[in-house]
Amino acid sequence: MTRPALSVLFVCMGNICRSPTAHGVFRHQVAQAGLAKVVQVDSAGTHNYHPGEPPDERSQAHAARRGYDLSDLRARQLRGSDFEAHDLILVMDWDNLAQVREECPPQHLHKVRRLTEFCQRHDSPVVPDPYYGGAQGFEQVLDLVEDASLGLLRHVAARLA
């Protein structure tokens, strides 16, 4: 019997730095775990700043150095249908959390969480926005996202078991 797919949506502000990085990293980990057929991964932004654009070149370059390809991803804004379509909606920071909760229908609020809740090694309440900073910010995003993705993968595998 085939298990139903579980869908995870990552959300940041513009969907060009943090959420596509999380999308690419988690998608890679899901594929390595052999779960690509049962776990769906997507990303979106709370704002419609960059519709249809690829991830920030710096995000792509830093991710590529760690073996993650983000080149096929395109920015989009969070839609009302996302709340129904996804089992987990994971936001990057407090502003994202507040906005997503405000837009989320009450029956789906339990799906909305911070990605860093799944961190196992790092103790950060948020994934900080690297957009206006330097290379270290993009590396910090990857460090937090990789850590949280491993914890998330354990969580997802347990839900599918």
- Residue 4 confidence class, pLDDT cut points 50, 70, 90: low
Query: Domain limits of the chain?
Result: 6-154
pTM summary value: 0.96
- Residue 5 confidence class, pLDDT cut points 50, 70, 90: confident
Burial-class residue 8 by CB neighbours within 10 Å (0-12, 13-18, 19+). buried
Residue 158 scores a pLDDT above 80: yes
**Contact present, 53 and 20 (Cβ < 8 Å):** no
Active site residues: 12, 18, 129
**Contact present, 152 and 28 (Cβ < 8 Å):** no
Residue 155: half-sphere exposure toward Cβ, Cα within 13 Å:
20
Domain 6-154 top-level CATH class: alpha beta
